[in-house]
Structure 1
Amino acid sequence: MRFLSTKAHGVIDYLVGLLLIAVPWIFGFAQGGMETWIFVLAGVGALIYSFFTEYELGVVKLIPMPMHLLFDAMSGIVLATSPWLFGFNDYVYLPHLLFGLFEIGASLITHKVPGHRTSAAMDRR
């Protein structure tokens, strides 16, 4: 049931990466602890591994798309569970849970082969 193109996923990667960094301040829960830093780290991480992914919007194409999607899923799991893992769930948990689930979902619906590679392979047939 993978229907999201890798190109669209790439656009989402860079936008969400920047958004993740800003979320604690946008939603007003930034206190300088793990509730804040987990978002910043997830955002910076997403931007870095997106930059190095073998897809249309990757700049240095080193990371295969399936590995990128695994990174997305792992990041989503950590983000979604972080309020309970790090003990700040009494203060804030919903943004972490929702953005984490979004990352997991994106990893499950995105094609594993970049569109430009799929097209080239089909042209050879």
Structure 2
Amino acid sequence: MKPFISTAVYGVLNYIVALTLIASPWLFGFVNVSSAALLLPMYIGWLQLIMAIFSNNETGFIKQFPLTIHHVLDVLMGFVILVSPWLYTFASKVFWPQLILGGLLFCMGLFTKKSPFTTRNPHNHSVGFLTSTDSN
């Protein structure tokens, strides 16, 4: 599938999702559900915020963290948030905020331009000086 989220929009969404994840236990009222419901979104939100600040894109302030690694970690962290209500057995009390925020983070990592999941690697994988068009 072709990536459809620009890196500038991705950068702004990344800050919004990170801050929403950090505040989500209080915003959506699941502070007293369980420690996993409280701490997991906060930890992942802080990691997202730190990665967004150090990310090498238009909205990164320090521009040291490679964007491809950021996308891979977005997919992994989004998946963890997405399945956390069932993994840590608090789905009977709350699951919509984790489902929506985890799915959004997962999709952001997949469908942003320059994502390693939807963009081909521009590097030529030749061995030595031989390429695939050279004869043996």
Maintained 8 Å contact 2:77/2:105: yes
Q: CA deviation at 1:52?
A: 1.2
Aligned to 1:93: 95
- TM-score relative to the length of structure 2: 0.77
1:74 corresponds to which residue? Answer: 76
Offset of 1:41 from its aligned partner? Answer: 1.0
Alignment of structure 1 residues 32-43 onto 2, 5 Å: 33-43=35-45
How big is the shift at 1:80?
Answer: 0.5
More divergent stretch after superposition (83-92 vs 100-109):
83-92
Partner residue in 2 for 1:104: 106
Mapped partners of 1:22, 1:16: distance in 2: 10
Gaps of 5+ in 2: 116-136
Mean Cα deviation higher: 41-50 or 30-39: 30-39
One-letter code aligned to 1:27: F
Deviation beyond 2 Å, 4+ runs, structure 1: none
Structure 2 counterparts to residues 1-125 of structure 1, below 5 A = 1-31=2-32, 33-112=35-114
Larger radius of gyration: 2
How many angstroms does 1:88 deviate by? 1.5
Tell me the TM-score normalised to structure 1 length.
0.83
Alignment deviations for residues 29-84 of structure 1 (CA, whole Å, 9 cap, x no partner): 11161111111111111000111111011122222111111111011000001112
Secondary structure in 2 aligned to 1:57?
coil
Equivalent residue, structure 2, for 1:121: none
> 5+ unaligned residues in a row in structure 1: which ranges?
114-125
Aligned Cα RMSD in Å?
1.4
Q: Kindly, what percent of the aligned residue pairs are identical?
A: 35
Distance 2:27 2:52 in 1: 23
SS at match of 2:102: helix
Higher helix share: 1
> Which residue matches 1:122?
none
